[in-house]
Structure 1
Amino acid sequence: MSGSLWRHRDFMVLWSGRTLSEVGDAVSLLVIPLLAVTVLDASAVEVGILSATRMVAYVFLSLPAGVWVDRMRKRRVMVLCHLVRAGLVATVAVGAWAGWITMVQLWTVALLSSVCTVLYETAHQSFLPSIVRKDQLLDANGKLTTTYSVSQIAGYGVGGALVSVLGVARTAGVDALAYVLNAVSLLLIRGADEPPVVTRRRDFRRELGDGLSFVFRHPVMPRLVAASASFNLFSQMLFALAVLYLVRDLRLSESMVGVVMGLTTLGGIAGGLASTRLARLVGTARIIWVAPLGLGWTVLLVPAAEPGWGPAAYTVGMAGMGMLFAIYNAAVVSYRQRVCPPELLGRMTASVRFVIFGVMPVGALAGGLLGSWLGVRPTLWIAAAGVWASGLVLYFSPLRRWRDLPDEADAPAGGQPTTSFPAPHGRSPVDPAGKAIGGVRGG
């Protein structure tokens, strides 16, 4: 039986720092697009490019990031990334206050910030299993997912209020301080940041291939990667046009945009809080396709919204999507962390993110281009339908016949497969439960 994470000091420190950082990040995610739309009069294409550059590093950096992170101390990487992001966001605040802010500067800051985000997130997912036990990972990821949603509603709400009082220029500086404080909080974690495993000979290409091989020769992960990529592609089309849609189509003020965007995160809070219980009740495999198909249809309310009653429909639609993502992500991320050997966690995480996050700038850019060509509302209809249809990738797969994912089941009585798959170089073959066949379990 797992111990309570509420009494786990290191996790609570990690969780608290992450919460503060996410609040500041949400302020930035609100303020920078508002700055582009209201001050620089950005077009749909320019807003789409801004959203895409914020994620473009996932395309060219995800795979090498996994190798680099596995070679370094994870906490050190996370601290450095926070400090760099603090400096980047500070330049936006100074530029907006001085009056020389441009779209080129916003695109540049977004691009460099995306590099830090890739390195930080890869290190964070690899660092968490060294803080908590494997039987605590589902609970830990559920709490972190809830934190993201709570932080978003707090950040959007605070951001909207600060914009009304201070203006967008001064409000942009709040995010920089949050990053600095989170960097400091990471230094308070007592648990040892284990040094990387040193091999006799470094082979970048082989190390890179080990992560890809583990993911794509695994009997379950490729299905999850395909569905996650589809979710991210279409959801980013929605996110890229969100501020533009709320301001110009639904005719909301800057402060109301913050309120509405904050309320949409209530679904993520509910999903994060319920994710552990629902996964155990419905089944850790079954919940992965039940959540998208059961909640994904609510996203169709977003393009159906009209001025007047529209903000309520938009809020419900986006909240429904947030709930399904929270439930889905908690189950999928926990499964990946449990079955992957510790020395491959960085490369496994990077290999998955290369695909599922690599499509995000494509989705954001497609949203901007289609919004300019077809119009914002028709583009949102395409995106909303795509989010719901992504769940079909999971429904028409072996997951539909399972209650639980392989490492959670009592195979073969539970009807789970016992398929093994080739191991990375220098390791014993690994079964879906992460146990070495004919050897010892990776520590």
Structure 2
Amino acid sequence: MLLESPWRTADFRTLFAATALSQLGTNVSYVAVPLIAVAALDASPGQVGALATLSTLAFLLIGLPAGAWVDRMRHRRLLVLADLARALSFASVPLAWWLDALTLGQLYAVVLLNGCASVFFDVASQSTLPQLVGREALVQANAAVVSLQAVSNVAGRGAGGGLVQLLGAPVAVLCAAAGYLASALQLTAIRHKEASPGFRGRSSLRRQVAEGLRHVFGNPELRALASTAALTNLGSQIVNTMLPILFVRELRLSAGVLGLYWAAGGVGLLLGARCARPLARRIGHGRILGLAGAVLAPAGLLVPLIGRGPWLWIAGAGWILAMFKTGMDNVLGVSLRQRMTADDLLGRMNATFRFVLTGALAVGAAVSGLIGELAGVRATLWVGGALLAVSFLPVFLSPVRTRRELPQQQQQAPAPSPVRKAAPQ
């Protein structure tokens, strides 16, 4: 039986609590790790860019096969193992610091391992959510999760900046590790009985990955959602990678101010997530995605104006508006793609999206470091702001813009076409 509210499901409440703890670890480390590189290891813009690239590179390396693997595995077990891996990797950073043995090489390895674990955690989490709450409760469940992520951005990044300033970066990273460990323990309380993983026939891993790719890129609406989200991530990452250098070295502002600036973006995400459902009911699910993008995305051009005094507030306002759009996109876009995908394709669909979206983060970090080295921090911010400003175009020019209601849920993915041998020439 499908429940009207996901909150009536005990397993959803458990997953939500675990996600809150995991997000705390993610957002504290988001602030603390690059600040360790800049302040303690004297990292250059290129090295900071490499650090950010490696943190998301795993989605390009293993993102696509991870979807097929997730579809073959028990989701709860996978979520617990991913959190334990993240806790152990981050716990090694303060240990090396206190032994006076921390190097950039170790930071590179830690963020790469953390990224690999995050691939499986993110894909498994989004794939198990429809099974826990039912398809009809997906929009409300996704709104709750995106709101949580936004609140975590505010609290976690604000706390991360404060912890670095008050107690030092190693203690902040240790707190991140503790958040992941607590999340793993919480996830063991999920009681949902998962169906035995498996596929019809004996499809190879390559064919299963190809099915996920065809499902996403062969559908004009899913393709547009992926393109818009990729542009948003690309622009955001280009900006975010240079912010620690801008705040600490050029503007001479504290880690706490940087944390608050990032937290302001979390406020925008939260407001966008909370407004998504009522606006979609009033205006239409796809219509509001197109309209909000056209109105809000150009605010990204205010972000490169960041400086001391009033310019900090002006750039902050632009960042909040850009993140408001992202919050709406996350709730409505994720709900749309989940409703358009059968259960046995969810892992591969989510992995394909994560490959594209988080792959854009990896590319954005590398591009940011390169432009920062060659043209400076300000030029980098303008490139990122311009990408944010045009990110709405794929959805605005697609059939998504005319969609009023969510589609009927997909029951089962179509069986793959039989392989035919080519006729002799």
Please give the range of the TM-score, normalised by the shorter of the 2 chains.
over 0.9
**Aligned partners of 1:214 and 1:423 also within 8 Å:** no
Shift of 1:198: 4.8
Q: Say yes or no: does 1:4 pair with 2:13.
A: no
Shift of 1:406: 4.4
Which residue of structure 2 lines up, in the alignment, with residue 204 of structure 1? 205
* Partner Cα separation in structure 2 for residue 104 and residue 75 of structure 1: 32
TM-score (norm 1): 0.89
Which residue of structure 1 lines up, in the alignment, with residue 28 of structure 2? 27
TM-score (norm 2): 0.93
Query: Which segment drifts farther, 296-305 or 307-316?
Result: 307-316
Name the aligned partner's letter for residue 134 of structure 2. Answer: R
Query: Which segment drifts farther, 242-251 or 334-343?
Result: 242-251
Which residue of structure 2 lines up, in the alignment, with residue 236 of structure 1? 237
* Partner Cα separation in structure 2 for residue 380 and residue 387 of structure 1: 11
1:8-31 alpha-carbon deviations (Å, 9 max, x no partner) = 321111111101111121111100
Shift of 1:141: 0.6
**Aligned partners of 1:40 and 1:102 also within 8 Å:** yes
Which residue of structure 2 lines up, in the alignment, with residue 413 of structure 1? none
* Partner Cα separation in structure 1 for residue 403 and residue 259 of structure 2: 41
Which residue of structure 1 lines up, in the alignment, with residue 110 of structure 2? 109
**Aligned partners of 1:227 and 1:394 also within 8 Å:** yes
1:99-152 alpha-carbon deviations (Å, 9 max, x no partner) = 221111111111111111111111111110110011110111111001001011
Which residue of structure 2 lines up, in the alignment, with residue 143 of structure 1? 144
**Aligned partners of 2:150 and 2:267 also within 8 Å:** yes
Alignment of 1:244-255 (within 5 A): 244-255=245-256
Name the aligned partner's letter for residue 348 of structure 2. Answer: R
Which residue of structure 1 lines up, in the alignment, with residue 416 of structure 2? 425
**Aligned partners of 1:223 and 1:393 also within 8 Å:** yes
Q: Specify whether residues 159 and 170 from structure 1 end up closer, same or farther in structure 2 by C-alpha distance, changes over 3 A only.
A: same
1:69-119 alpha-carbon deviations (Å, 9 max, x no partner) = 111001111100000110000011212232221111111111111111111
Which residue of structure 2 lines up, in the alignment, with residue 393 of structure 1? 394
Secondary structure of the structure 2 residue equivalent to 1:306: coil
Alignment of 1:310-389 (within 5 A): 310-389=311-390
Q: Say yes or no: does 1:128 pair with 2:119.
A: no
Shift of 1:2: 5.2
1:139-180 alpha-carbon deviations (Å, 9 max, x no partner) = 111110010010111112222222232211122100111111
* Partner Cα separation in structure 2 for residue 53 and residue 23 of structure 1: 20
* Partner Cα separation in structure 1 for residue 311 and residue 250 of structure 2: 10
**Aligned partners of 2:9 and 2:132 also within 8 Å:** no
Q: Specify whether residues 279 and 89 from structure 1 end up closer, same or farther in structure 2 by C-alpha distance, changes over 3 A only.
A: same
Query: Which segment drifts farther, 398-407 or 249-258?
Result: 398-407
Shift of 1:359: 2.2
* Partner Cα separation in structure 2 for residue 11 and residue 215 of structure 1: 27
Alignment of 1:41-80 (within 5 A): 41-80=42-81
* Partner Cα separation in structure 1 for residue 401 and residue 153 of structure 2: 32
Which residue of structure 1 lines up, in the alignment, with residue 283 of structure 2? 282
**Aligned partners of 1:22 and 1:155 also within 8 Å:** yes
Q: Say yes or no: does 1:257 pair with 2:248.
A: no
Secondary structure of the structure 2 residue equivalent to 1:55: helix
Secondary structure of the structure 2 residue equivalent to 1:334: helix
Q: Specify whether residues 313 and 251 from structure 1 end up closer, same or farther in structure 2 by C-alpha distance, changes over 3 A only.
A: farther
Which residue of structure 2 lines up, in the alignment, with residue 419 of structure 1? none
**Aligned partners of 1:274 and 1:327 also within 8 Å:** yes
- Unaligned residue ranges in structure 1 (runs of 5+): 409-421, 428-443
* Partner Cα separation in structure 2 for residue 99 and residue 259 of structure 1: 30
Shift of 1:310: 3.1
* Partner Cα separation in structure 1 for residue 252 and residue 315 of structure 2: 13
1:210-256 alpha-carbon deviations (Å, 9 max, x no partner) = 21122222242112222222222222101111211222233211222
Aligned pairs, how many? Answer: 414
Query: Which segment drifts farther, 267-276 or 288-297?
Result: 288-297
Which residue of structure 2 lines up, in the alignment, with residue 297 of structure 1? 298
**Aligned partners of 2:336 and 2:407 also within 8 Å:** no
Secondary structure of the structure 1 residue equivalent to 2:391: helix
Shift of 1:33: 0.7
Secondary structure of the structure 2 residue equivalent to 1:192: coil
* Partner Cα separation in structure 2 for residue 164 and residue 376 of structure 1: 23
Secondary structure of the structure 1 residue equivalent to 2:392: helix
Which residue of structure 2 lines up, in the alignment, with residue 440 of structure 1? none
* Partner Cα separation in structure 2 for residue 174 and residue 246 of structure 1: 23
Secondary structure of the structure 2 residue equivalent to 1:201: coil
Name the aligned partner's letter for residue 244 of structure 2. Answer: V
Q: Specify whether residues 2 and 76 from structure 1 end up closer, same or farther in structure 2 by C-alpha distance, changes over 3 A only.
A: closer
**Aligned partners of 1:287 and 1:328 also within 8 Å:** no
Name the aligned partner's letter for residue 397 of structure 1. Answer: S
Shift of 1:344: 1.0
Name the aligned partner's letter for residue 203 of structure 1. Answer: S
Which residue of structure 1 lines up, in the alignment, with residue 272 of structure 2? 271
* Partner Cα separation in structure 1 for residue 298 and residue 217 of structure 2: 30
**Aligned partners of 2:67 and 2:348 also within 8 Å:** yes
* Partner Cα separation in structure 1 for residue 80 and residue 74 of structure 2: 10
1:279-310 alpha-carbon deviations (Å, 9 max, x no partner) = 22221111222222221222222211222223
* Partner Cα separation in structure 2 for residue 103 and residue 264 of structure 1: 28
* Partner Cα separation in structure 2 for residue 391 and residue 333 of structure 1: 16
Q: Specify whether residues 393 and 201 from structure 1 end up closer, same or farther in structure 2 by C-alpha distance, changes over 3 A only.
A: closer
**Aligned partners of 1:58 and 1:118 also within 8 Å:** yes
Name the aligned partner's letter for residue 345 of structure 1. Answer: L
* Partner Cα separation in structure 2 for residue 171 and residue 319 of structure 1: 25
Aligned sequence identity (%): 36
1:261-287 alpha-carbon deviations (Å, 9 max, x no partner) = 223311111111111112222211112
Secondary structure of the structure 1 residue equivalent to 2:359: coil
Alignment of 1:114-193 (within 5 A): 114-193=115-194
Shift of 1:183: 0.7
Q: Specify whether residues 317 and 249 from structure 1 end up closer, same or farther in structure 2 by C-alpha distance, changes over 3 A only.
A: farther
* Partner Cα separation in structure 1 for residue 108 and residue 331 of structure 2: 31
